[in-house]
Amino acid sequence: MRGLHLTADLYQCRCEPRWLTDAEALGDWTRQAAEAVGLDVLEEVARPTAEDGSVTAVLVLAHSHVCLHTWPAQRAATVDVYLASSRADMSAKARGLIYALVNRFAPEWTEQRSLDRGTEGE
């Protein structure tokens, strides 16, 4: 099991406001972005999470997940892409996907981190 976990916290997002409040649109778009980098999405959850319009989109993949949470009042969002596999190196797909997800929100600034997870050969 080896995996790459990328996190991105996005501020002052300049995207159309609906991307921060329309759960269905965000969920659909996130799934399409994952499929575009060759990922097999097993399940998708996209729903409002608070009265201020905040939404969450989650994709479940084998041993892996993608989670987005929006904060429309602050024009902010958080993004997680964690891809793991016992066979393939998923890092190129993880980097490609988070790049697409971050760009969707057009943030003025971001804080991004990268965690190598798991052990090689186990």
Q: How far is the CB of 105 from its own copies (least distance, A)?
A: 14
- The DSSP output letter for 75 is T
Q: How far is the CB of 73 from its own copies (least distance, A)?
A: 8
Residues whose CB is less than 8 angstroms from the CB of residue 6 and which lie 6 or more positions away in sequence, other chains included:
79, 80, 81, 82, 94, 95, 98, 112, 113, 114, 115
Task: Tell me how crowded residue 28 is: count the other CB atoms within 10 A of its CB.
Answer: 14
Cα 55 from Cα 105, distance rounded (Å): 14
Q: How far is the CB of 82 from its own copies (least distance, A)?
A: 7
User: Given the complex with its own copies, which of 30 and 64 has the nearer CB atom?
Assistant: 64
Residues in contact with its own copies by the rule CB under 8 A: 1, 3, 5, 7, 9, 11, 42-43, 45, 47, 49-50, 54, 56, 58, 60-65, 67, 69, 71, 73-74, 76, 78, 80, 82, 84, 86, 111, 113, 115, 117-119, 122
